[in-house]
Structure 1
Amino acid sequence: MKSFLLSAAIGLASPAVLTAGDAFTYPFDGTFDDATFAVESAIVGQGLVIDYVSHVGEMLNRTGADVGSDAMIFKNADIFLFCSAVVSRQVMEKDPMNITHCPYGIFVLENDEGVIVGHKDYPDGTMQAVEDLMQQIVAEAIGS
Structure 2
Amino acid sequence: MSMIRSAAVLLMLGAVPALAADPVLYEAEGDFADIAGAVEDAIINAGLVIDSTSHVGAMLNRTKADVGGEKDIYTQADVFSFCSAVVSRKVMERDPLNIQSCPYGIFVYELADAPGKITVGHRDYAAEDLPEVQELITGIVGNALD
TM alignment of 1:58-73, pairs within 5 A: 58-73=58-73
Q: CA deviation at 1:125?
A: 6.3
Counterpart for residue 88 of structure 1:
88
* TM-score (normalizing by structure 2): 0.80
Q: What one-letter code is carried by the residue in structure 2 that aligns with 1:142?
A: L
Contact 1:95–1:126 (CA<8 Å) still a contact in 2? no
1:117 maps to what in 2?
120
**Deviation by residue 1:11-35 (Cα, 9 ceiling, x = unmatched):** xxxxxxxxx9611111123210001
2:44, 2:29 → 1: CA distance?
A: 21
Where does residue 17 of structure 2 map in the other structure? none
Shift of 1:73: 1.0
Gaps of 5+ in 2: 1-19
Q: Count the aligned residue pairs.
A: 124
Q: Following TM superposition, where does structure 1 have runs of at least 4 consecutive aligned residues deviating by more than 3 angstroms?
A: 123-126
Q: 1:126 to 1:104 in 2, by over 3 A?
A: same
Which residue of the other structure, out of 127, 136, 139, is the alignment partner of 1:136?
Answer: 139
Q: Percent identity?
A: 54
Normalising by structure 1, what TM-score? 0.81
Larger Rg: 2
C-alpha change, 1:67 and 1:21, in structure 2 (3 Å) is farther
Q: How far 1:69 moved relative to its partner?
A: 1.2
Does the CA contact (< 8 Å) of 1:81 and 1:103 recur in 2? yes
Aligned to 2:24: 24
**Which residue identity lines up with residue 74 of structure 1 in the other structure?**
Y
Structure 1 residue ranges without an equivalent (≥5):
1-19
Contact (CA 8 Å) 1:76, 1:109: kept in 2 or not?
yes
What residue number does 1:76 align with? 76
CA contact (8 A) 1:108 1:115 kept: yes
**C-alpha deviation, 1:107, in angstroms:** 0.5
- CA distance in structure 1 between the aligned counterparts of 2:95 and 2:130, rounded to whole angstroms: 9
**Does the 8 Å contact 1:29/1:142 carry over to 2?**
no
Which residue of the partner structure matches residue 13 of structure 2? none
> More deviation in 116-125 or 44-53?
116-125
